[in-house]
Structure 1
């Protein structure tokens, strides 16, 4: 699962479940290749994965839609207007390569032949948010990751006409698993 999903959506429920299931070992890892994730799940090397921005169909694997999240362009100043061409004189803040919302931003830039003045890449969303709040720039982020900053007016959604596609997240797991804790985990954490 992506770091942002763990931090902002599922940490509390996962930690509650782990307290009641102390026999379970857990490894959180980010992976940006859906092909390798499908292989790992098919081979029982990975039990569950949250795939973002992909609809995956694979025999033997269960693919359950989990959420749809809005992507928004944000900055640390309230602006009255913002045009696509304004990105050329802006500092763009992005997460690591392979991140689904970074890919959406890259598609927009490529399609419109836009080259931002500067691009700063961050390994995590928290460091990116700290930078944008303190020093400025523009970032494309899932709205759920910045809801508190929007309320406190530390960040603002840019008035931008372009609508990014919703960020879709699906749970992917192997239905042939022998681990009884998989269903328990999925039912408790994701309410399925």
Structure 2
């Protein structure tokens, strides 16, 4: 069995290979125009997240810790749609990949500090199992596309 997860996953029985980077954004209801550079008012908001162990949740908790914020309440959900809908309704804030929320009009997207803007997505599988040919092709194609993207970005930055 293979999975594509936000990572990295560090376990002696798991092979974890980064396949691409995702841009992360803080999401709030549309009623919040601008949090400012110090993210004023964020410490008063509920966190809307997946259960303990979720990489996005860990990423959000590290970000809040870096800002010296303690959330007022943590609410756990089982789906992206539930998190996005509840954020849009003003119940709290979350952090998700831009690719997931960029077309969602019910939430406002806020940039994060540079050190929190990206998260690696990994292809993982047990070291004791083999990867079928389709998964091997997916992994190789992902590596090649990621390499092209990195090359293109480095050319653009020069």
Residue matched to 2:62: 107
Instruction: Using the TM superposition, give the Cα deviation of residue 109 of structure 1 relative to its aligned residue in structure 2, in angstroms.
Output: 2.6
CA contact (8 A) 1:87 1:115 kept: no
TM-score, length-scaled by structure 1: 0.58
Aligned residues: 140
Q: 1:128 aligns with which of 83, 86, 103?
A: 83
1:139 aligns with 2:91: no
Partner residue, 1:36 = none
Q: Is the CA contact (8 Å cut-off) linking 1:50 and 1:169 kept in structure 2? A: yes
Higher RCO by CA contacts (8 Å cutoff, separation 6 or greater): 2
TM-score for the superposition, normalised by structure 2: 0.69
Partner SS, residue 116 of structure 2 = coil
SS at match of 1:66: strand
Distance 1:81 1:159, change over 3 A: farther
Of residues 77, 98, 113 in structure 1, which corresponds to 2:53? 98
Structure 1 residue 71 corresponds to structure 2 residue 53 = no
Q: Does 1:166 align with 2:121?
A: no
Gaps of 5+ in 2: 143-158
Structure 1's 123 and 159: CA in aligned 2 closer, same or farther, altered over 3 A?
Answer: same
1:116, distance to aligned residue in structure 2 (A): 2.2
Q: CA RMSD in A?
A: 3.1
Q: 1:51–1:186: structure 2 CA closer, same or farther, 3 Å change rule? A: same
